[in-house]
């Protein structure tokens, strides 16, 4: 908040016309005013002032009282003035703060008037000439960017239901990955790392920072685009396999902070918010799909017979991560969240549904050959009243978990689970999550009609079963790097590989036969390309290996004469001779449970330009 204080011999104003649609209604008491020996306080309310209302108002009133006492003015006029800052709060927040300033001054025994907010006004002013007659002030508030400090305590919960102190577990526990999580989360110790090979590998497939955008925003080359589209399609298939009705929706990324549910929900994320100012006020870029889905579902007519059901969206999500935290594919300011919200009758039903979600979360990471270690963030009341459910969750994980216990009522959820891999650098990396929300249904006005005819608020499960699209890909590539560190060839799952088959003729003599094979594989909807460049066989095979292509088909005289293919299978470093039909059947069997999206590069390598990331190979 910024103020300009002027001790005026005379001050007069009159409201003329509305400056904004949501202007404050005029009353006889504020439509105009005439004053003498008055302290006029021109006030500009800035974004975030309402988030620290008590502090802002207290500091303002203390300052005004000091000046009022010094200049011996008879009255104070608060005059809304939007020209002291460009960082303006929206109309709702501005009026809230202005009314509080007026109310607190009056409560402290000061004669005070306030000019109407949101109006064009004319005024005349005759200022005294003493040293204190003109003063400017700035009252800073962190507002939405303020970091919330929350006291918490930690325990380790074993699958048996036994509770241990984290320090004791570090001494006697046998789960090394959990010990890494405890060391980082509880004792805040920096863990040894190294050069992030995952970043180099991501760059190789076209996941790069966009230098012409804000920090933390990525661009996706052709190979990366295929991977993102494949995982996005797969995320939808995963949520549909849960066995409950799921509705797929799409929405906008910006929500106006003047709406109370949006403002209250957004404020929970503190300094991680991304804000945009438009002619209609301050908007927040959504943290996940919550704002859009809740704004939509509140308009649905829901019966208890309809529950449970899910709502799913691939949501552009924005989080204002700090520059030192940013990492390709993992810590981003803009990413894609396959966000599912499941609406349940109550917390008990949400707990049972969450166990289904939990099993699916573990099932999906196991397909990559990985295991999660869990961090359970729970409120005191959930820990006390649902300890049995919490123990069952940990038992479902099949290993001990770290539990962080927070005060009740400070968040919208009662349990928030982070599913973490220990990555190839030995550091915790959260991928998947679920949480049980008991606050947002009421906040957004989402209701259902119960069996007895009453209206009730559903409990809501938030989950990203495979994690964000980019973090899932991070887990895939990190798994490949872990293989490399064990002396094995790094690989991608065939369904996710941008190019699944590379055809390599030994010489131009066999190009026509190679093109016949190319057509057969294209007709089978397999992502395939043909290295028709006039390069040595060794160089062609080396480049296919650098791109981690799962199947490399070499065509020479023997293959041409027998109408077969010599297949080099990257997984297991196997080489086989087979027919084209056998190759197609092998690949189709491997990818049958996954979506197949078109490739994003030409089929002939000679027609592929020197893409910046591939030119580095």
Strand partners, 576: 567
In this structure, the number of other CB atoms found within 10 A of the CB of residue 133 comes to 15
In degrees and rounded to multiples of 5, residue 337 shows phi and psi of -110, 115
> Is residue 145 scored above 80 in pLDDT?
no
Between CA 189 and CA 183 the distance in angstroms is: 6
Which is nearest to 520 in space by CA: 583, 576, 568?
A: 583
> Is residue 278 scored above 90 in pLDDT?
no
> Is residue 61 scored above 80 in pLDDT?
yes
- Is 404 within 8 Å of 376 (Cβ atoms)? yes
pLDDT tens-place string over residues 177-232: 999 999 999 998 877 766 678 999 999 999 999 999 999 999 999 999 999 999 99
Q: Is the dihedral of CA 293, 295, 296, 301 positive or negative?
A: positive
Dihedral in degrees, nearest 10, Cα atoms 518, 225, 423, 199: 100
The model's pTM is 0.79
> Is residue 290 scored above 50 in pLDDT?
yes
Q: Report helix angle 222-240 to 469-485, nearest 10.
A: 110
Looking at 266-333, which runs of residues are DSSP E strands?
Answer: 274-278, 281-285, 309-318
Q: Assign domain 153-477 to its CATH superfamily.
A: Bira Bifunctional Protein; Domain 2 (3.30.930.10)
- Is 546 within 8 Å of 204 (Cβ atoms)? yes
pLDDT at position 615, please? 46
* 122 CA to centre of own chain: 46
Distances (CA, A) of 62 to 32, 55, 59, 70, 324: 27, 11, 5, 13, 39
Between CA 111 and CA 580 the distance in angstroms is: 92
Looking at 345-450, which runs of residues are DSSP E strands?
Answer: 373-379, 401-406, 413-422, 428-437, 448-449
pLDDT at position 283, please? 87
Interacting residues of 483 by C-beta distance below 8 A, sequence separation 6+: 489, 490, 491
Confidence of residue 53 (pLDDT cuts 50, 70, 90): confident
β-strands 281-285, 373-379 pairing: unpaired
pLDDT at position 196, please? 76
- Residue 317 exposed, middle or buried by CB count within 10 Å (0-12, 13-18, 19+): buried
Topology given in CATH for the domain delimited by 2-141: 3.50.80
pLDDT at position 272, please? 79
> Is residue 12 scored above 70 in pLDDT?
yes
Confidence of residue 143 (pLDDT cuts 50, 70, 90): very low
pLDDT tens-place string over residues 89-113: 888 889 999 999 999 999 999 999 9
If you average pLDDT over residues 55-73, what whole number do you get?
A: 90
pLDDT at position 257, please? 82
If you average pLDDT over residues 238-242, what whole number do you get?
A: 97
Which is nearest to 529 in space by CA: 220, 222, 234?
A: 222
Between CA 402 and CA 91 the distance in angstroms is: 44
If you average pLDDT over residues 282-300, what whole number do you get?
A: 92
If you average pLDDT over residues 336-365, what whole number do you get?
A: 98
> Is residue 246 scored above 90 in pLDDT?
yes
Confidence of residue 616 (pLDDT cuts 50, 70, 90): very low
- Is 258 within 8 Å of 251 (Cβ atoms)? no
If you average pLDDT over residues 133-142, what whole number do you get?
A: 74
Average pLDDT, the chain: 92
- Reported CATH class of domain 501-616: alpha beta
pLDDT tens-place string over residues 555-582: 999 999 999 999 999 999 999 999 999 9
pLDDT at position 484, please? 93
DSSP symbol at 89? P
Burial string for 488-500 (b: 16+ CB within 10 Å, else e) reads: eebbbbbbbbbbb
Q: Where are the domains of the chain?
A: 2-141, 153-477, 501-616
> Is residue 46 scored above 90 in pLDDT?
no
CA Rg value for the chain: 31
Looking at 325-407, which runs of residues are DSSP E strands?
Answer: 334-344, 373-379, 401-406
> Is residue 588 scored above 60 in pLDDT?
yes
pLDDT at position 269, please? 72
DSSP symbol at 519? H
Which is nearest to 83 in space by CA: 43, 52, 121, 53?
A: 43
pLDDT tens-place string over residues 412-449: 999 999 999 999 989 999 999 999 999 999 999 999 99
Confidence of residue 271 (pLDDT cuts 50, 70, 90): low
Between CA 597 and CA 227 the distance in angstroms is: 9
> Is residue 18 scored above 70 in pLDDT?
yes
pLDDT at position 133, please? 78
Confidence of residue 340 (pLDDT cuts 50, 70, 90): very high
Looking at 474-527, which runs of residues are DSSP E strands?
Answer: 501-505
- Is 224 within 8 Å of 207 (Cβ atoms)? yes
Which is nearest to 470 in space by CA: 200, 208, 185?
A: 208
pLDDT at position 3, please? 92
> Is residue 148 scored above 70 in pLDDT?
no
């Amino acid at each position: 908040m910024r103020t300009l204080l002027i001790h005026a011999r005379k001050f007069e104003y009159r409201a003329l016309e509305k400056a904004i649609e949501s202007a404050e209604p005029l009353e006889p008491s504020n439509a105009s005013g005439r004053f003498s020996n008055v302290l006029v306080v021109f006030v500009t309310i800035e974004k975030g002032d309402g988030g620290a209302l008590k502090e802002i108002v207290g500091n303002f009133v203390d300052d005004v009282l000091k000046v009022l006492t010094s200049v011996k003015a008879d009255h104070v006029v608060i005059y809304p003035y939007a020209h002291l800052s460009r960082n303006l709060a929206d109309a709702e927040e501005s009026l809230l703060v202005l009314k509080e300033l007026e109310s607190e001054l009056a409560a402290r025994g000061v004669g005070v008037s306030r000019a109407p907010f949101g109006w064009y006004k004319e005024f005349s002013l005759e200022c005294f000439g003493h040293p204190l007659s003109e003063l400017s002030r700035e009252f800073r508030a962190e507002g939405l960017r303020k970091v919330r400090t929350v006291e918490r305590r930690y325990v380790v919960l074993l699958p048996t239901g036994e509770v241990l102190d984290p320090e004791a577990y570090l001494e006697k526990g046998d789960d090394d990955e959990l010990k890494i999580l405890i060391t980082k989360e509880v004792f805040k110790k920096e863990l040894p790392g190294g050069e992030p090979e995952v970043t180099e590998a991501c760059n190789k497939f076209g996941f790069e920072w966009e230098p012409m955008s804000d920090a933390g925003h990525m661009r996706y080359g052709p190979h990366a685009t295929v991977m993102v589209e494949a995982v996005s399609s797969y995320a939808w298939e995963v949520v549909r396999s849960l066995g409950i009705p799921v509705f797929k929706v799409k929405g906008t990324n910006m929500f106006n902070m003047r709406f109370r549910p949006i403002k209250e929900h957004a404020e929970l994320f503190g300094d991680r918010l991304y804000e945009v100012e438009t002619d209609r006020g301050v908007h927040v870029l959504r943290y996940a799909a919550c704002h859009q889905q809740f704004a939509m579902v509140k308009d649905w007519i829901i019966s208890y017979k309809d529950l449970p059901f899910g709502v799913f969206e691939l949501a552009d999500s924005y989080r204002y991560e700090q520059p030192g935290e940013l990492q390709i594919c993992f810590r981003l300011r803009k990413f894609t969240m396959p966000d599912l919200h499941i609406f349940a009758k109550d917390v008990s039903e949400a707990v049972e549904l969450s166990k289904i979600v939990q099993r699916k979360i573990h099932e999906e990471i196991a397909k990559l050959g990985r295991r999660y270690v869990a961090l359970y963030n729970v409120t005191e009341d959930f820990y006390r009243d649902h300890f049995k459910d919490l123990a069952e969750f940990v038992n479902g994980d099949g290993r001990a978990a770290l539990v962080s216990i927070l005060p009740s009522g400070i968040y919208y959820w009662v349990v928030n689970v982070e599913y973490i891999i220990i990555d190839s650098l030995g550091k915790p990396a959260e991928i998947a999550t679920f949480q049980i929300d008991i606050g947002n249904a009421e906040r957004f006005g989402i209701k259902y009609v119960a069996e007895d005819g009453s209206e009730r608020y559903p409990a809501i499960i938030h989950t990203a079963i495979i994690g964000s699209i980019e973090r899932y890909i991070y887990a895939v590539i990190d798994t490949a790097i872990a293989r490399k560190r064990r002396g094995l060839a790094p690989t991608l799952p065939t369904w996710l590989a941008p190019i699944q088959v590379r055809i390599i003729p030994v010489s131009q003599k066999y190009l026509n036969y190679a093109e016949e094979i190319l057509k057969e594989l294209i007709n089978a909807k397999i992502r395939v390309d043909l290295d028709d460049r006039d390069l040595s066989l060794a160089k062609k095979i080396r480049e296919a290996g650098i791109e981690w292509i799962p199947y490399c088909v070499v065509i020479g005289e023997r293959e041409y004469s027998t109408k077969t293919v010599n297949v080099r299978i990257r997984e297991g470093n196997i080489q086989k001779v087979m027919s084209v039909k056998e190759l197609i059947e092998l690949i189709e069997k491997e990818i049958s449970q996954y979506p197949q999206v078109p490739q994003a590069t030409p089929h002939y390598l000679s027609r592929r330009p020197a893409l910046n990331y591939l030119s580095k190979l």
